[in-house]
Structures are given as C-alpha cells and as structure tokens.
Amino acid sequence: MTINHDHLLNYPIPEIRQTIRWQDTALYNFSIGLGQDPMDQQQLDFLYEPRLKAMPSMAVVLGYPGFWIRNPDTGVDWTQVLHGEQSIILHKPLPAEGEIIGRSRITSIVDRGPGKGAMLYNERVVTDARTGEKLATLEGTTFARGDGGFGGPSGPIRKPHPEPARAPDLSVDLATRPEQAIVYRLNGDHNPLHIDPEVAAKAGFRQPILHGLCTFGVVCHALMKALCGYDPARFGRMDLRFSSPVFPGETIRTEIWHEEGGAAFRARVVERDKVVVSNGLFRHAGSA
C-alpha cells in the first residue's frame, strides 16, 4: 500500500481528552532530568507539589493521539519513519493539574521522490477543556523514508533556522541518567527501542536510545535555565531538528547564541562530541 495524499491529509486522527494530575506533571519533569540536585530550589519548583510548575516541553505528551501512523490504512511504512523536527508555541503556561484536549492533524505532505522518502508535517493544538483557552501549538515533521514517489506535491519544504557561524555566547551542560529512557516512557511513549536491548541491537544501536522528545525536554530545561530564569511565563517558542540519537547517561551540552527576541541554539553530547540537535530557534513570550 502506498500513500494516498488526500486520504492522509484528511486522516481522522483521534481527539484526545486527558486529565493531568500533579503526579503526571512531576513525573514528566523528573523524566527529563530535573531534580538531580535535590538542593536546587529552582528545580524543586518543578517537582514539589505545593508549588509545582509544568515545564513548557510537557506539551509534547499532552493530548498525544498514539502511534496512529502505524494503522494499515495510512499507507505509510511505519517501520521507516523518523521524527525529524519539533516545535512548541506556548500560548500560556501549562497547568500542573487540570483537563486538556489535544486535536491533531496532518497539515501538508511533501513527496521527495522515489527512494528519497516523504515528509509529513503535523500540528497538534492543546486547549484547556474547561475554558477552551489555547495552551500550546505543536508542529512536527515526520520523515517517511520508505514512501517517496507516490505522486504528491514536491513542496513547499520548511527552511530550518540558520546557525550562527561564530562561537556560542554561552552553553549549559545537563547530564542524563542511565535509566532515563526507562523513566521517560512512563509518559506514554512505549516504543521498545528505548528499553529492549535486543530491539535496539536490531536497529543498529549498541543499547536502547533516549527518546527524541526526552532530548527535546532536556534542551528545553537548558533554555529555561539560561534564558528564562526557570519562569514558564517567559517562554514563547522553541523549534529544533533532531540530528542524532542520545544514549542514556550521556551529557547534553546546549550551545546558545543570543538573538533579538530570543536565541539560536544547538546541542551535542559531550562524551562523543556529536551534534544531536541542530537549527534551534528560541523566542521569549511576546516575541514568538
């Protein structure tokens, strides 16, 4: 089965209504690495229930419709898909508790040609179920490596944010924990690639890898620490490209260049000097 452009563009991705408990928020924050220093009061704000805050990146696990692209009627070879890009626009700080609704859709599909795969652009809008207020808009790109040549449009393709040629203005090192992928999957992403050594070996990795969206969360933590003083109200937007996987236990160094309204950034693992996130864009609230 191949991709049917019109069918996939209008695919009925299920709407998700989700109740957020304070335990869910604390688990998410812990799963992206907060709390490694139990004396850091600013990090405890994201773990201690009397004053609990939600990290902006938690939006990626809210209203998640599951791995729907695996359904046979999508026409997509799900074994060949990669999460290539992710962005968040935060319209207001996420609640630590409450009920939300996630509505997802495919916004465009690009056919890169036979043997070159396809690009699926998607959007999820997260709203407060009680008030209807928009909380976050998430946009992502899935690279369907096995599905090029289905006769769809060849563009447009979004341009990545350019990286400055000069040395970074500052950097933030955050260590990941050896068991971090095991903890992160409790947020709802149960892909065995992140826990089963045999599955990881078949995929060509020496061990289970960290979820890309866990890496996204670690980088969000670095940006919150360096640019927002750990205040979610100062966070506006974050876009990035995934360049390479991270192995749990490695140190992620986020390199930052100041720009008007925010910053450009990328991230690398210190131990292998390997870029894992590229073409990063950050904007403060009001500049997104």
274, 210 Cβ separation under 8 angstroms:
no
Is pLDDT of 82 > 90? no
Eight-state DSSP code of residue 7: H
Beta bridge partners of 242: 277
CA-CA distance, 26 to 19, in Å (whole number)? 14
Instruction: Provide the pLDDT for residue 237.
Output: 98
Point out the least confidently predicted range of 6-10, 250-254, 262-266: 6-10
Question: Where does the pLDDT of residue 54 fall: very low under 50, low under 70, confident under 90, or very high at 90 and above?
Answer: very high
200, 208 Cβ separation under 8 angstroms:
yes
Is pLDDT of 1 > 80? no
CA-CA distance, 281 to 262, in Å (whole number)? 8
Q: What would the mean pLDDT of 74-96 be, rounded to a whole number? A: 93
Q: Which of 5, 187, 20 is nearest to 97 (CA)?
A: 20
CA atoms within 13 A on the CB side of 275: 12
At 5, the amino acid letter reads H
CA-CA distance, 60 to 134, in Å (whole number)? 14
pLDDT digits (tens, 9 = 90+) for 195-253: 999 989 988 899 999 999 999 999 999 999 999 999 999 999 999 999 999 999 999 99
Instruction: Provide the pLDDT for residue 78.
Output: 83
Instruction: Count H helices and E strands in the chain, helices first.
Output: 6, 10
Question: Cβ atoms within 10 A of the Cβ of 174, count?
Answer: 18
pLDDT digits (tens, 9 = 90+) for 123-149: 999 999 999 999 999 999 999 989 999
Q: What would the mean pLDDT of 5-24 be, rounded to a whole number? A: 96
Instruction: Provide the pLDDT for residue 215.
Output: 98
